[in-house]
A = this chain, B = another copy of it.
Amino acid sequence: MTVSRRTPGRRPGGPDTRGEILRAARESFADKGFAATSIRAVARQAGVDAALVHHYFGSKDELFIEAMALPLDPRVVAARILDGTREDLGRRIVAVFLGVWESDEGQQRMKAMLRSVVTSDEVARLMREGMTRMILEPVSQFLEPPDAKLRVGLIASHMIGVALTRYVVELEPVAAADLETLVDRISPAIQQYVTG
């Protein structure tokens, strides 16, 4: 292994320092999970000072979100979904989720994410924990018991399946349908999981 002369020991932050912190974070979150990952350990692994990790990413939550490389902050997605009544929740879930996929950039990043999830156990673990903590748990607290978590999991499974068939497999007529038709058609199925 060669070490650049410009970055001996703990680096003050070079052109790829941010990337190295993210790589170390991704590895730790996937291996140990969110709770057992510390900013200090990530910094050590990346060969930088913990203060630099805080400088680049702020909190552990934000480091985690950056490590997932999503096109949108999942906390923003959850907040948009939960902003309204329970009677319209099904429709908001479908509209917000498909909205993320409809832009060209969102679609590229979500496709790459979906491919990594399916081919890498590490990425699958990362996304599983991230989605659960930041979207599924807040949404399931909005639902009536008893099996709110299972129902939210099934909502997620349907939304991921629509994304897979529409944007990746391009199965017709799901791929060619306009967004409004899709939202109209899917919302009642999702709402049914909401009301239980």
Contact = CB atoms under 8 A, between A and B. Distances in A.
Contact of A115 (B118, B127, B154): B118
- Residue of A157, A158, A185 ringed by the most chain B CB atoms within 10 A: A157
B162 A157 contact: yes
A61 to B, nearest CB: 20
A117 interface: yes
Interface size, A (range):
35 or more
A173 interface: yes
Given A147-B185, A161-B159, A124 B168 contact: yes
Given A164-B161, A189-B192, A171 B156 contact: yes
Interface string A124-164: 10011001100010000000000101110110111111101
* Oligomer: number of copies: 2
Contacts of A157: 158, 161-162, 164-166, 171, 174
A64 interface: no
Contacts of A159: 161
Interface of A: 114-115, 117-119, 124, 127-128, 131-132, 136, 147, 149-151, 153-154, 156-162, 164-166, 168-174, 177, 181, 185-186, 188-189, 192-193
